[in-house]
Amino acid sequence: MSLQDTLEMNIKRIVDFLIYSKNFIIRKSPLKALVNYIVESLKDFLTMKKKLRMAQYRLNYHQHQFHKMEQLIAENNQHSFLRGNNLNETR
């Protein structure tokens, strides 16, 4: 093998690699995926406070519903010690 053949083969390999790289970038577009990921992360970061407030609101609402249900169960329970000051008037 001569020096010219070796150079031609290496140049062909570099060109093939560049063609494969170009096709990969066109097919997968990693830069676009990175930009989309950064934009989504920014949106999540900027709306974090709103999401936290919504979660706190839902938690407070469910706690309120839970306490209402507990109170109804205690009022309708036949054991007077669960009802506090309310006595069973039917006895």
Burial zone of 1 (CB within 10 Å; 0-12 exposed, 13-18 middle, 19+ buried): exposed
Q: Which segments of the chain have a pLDDT < 70? A: 78-91
Answer yes or no: are the C-beta atoms of 74 and 83 closer than 8 Å: yes
Closest CA to 88 of 75, 69, 73, 70: 75
Q: What is the pTM assigned to this prediction?
A: 0.49
Instruction: For residues 27 and 20, give the distance between their C-alpha atoms in angstroms, rounded to a whole number.
Output: 10
Tokens 């097919």, residue located: 27
In the DSSP assignment, the letter for residue 78 is S
Q: Write down the pLDDT at residue 91.
A: 46
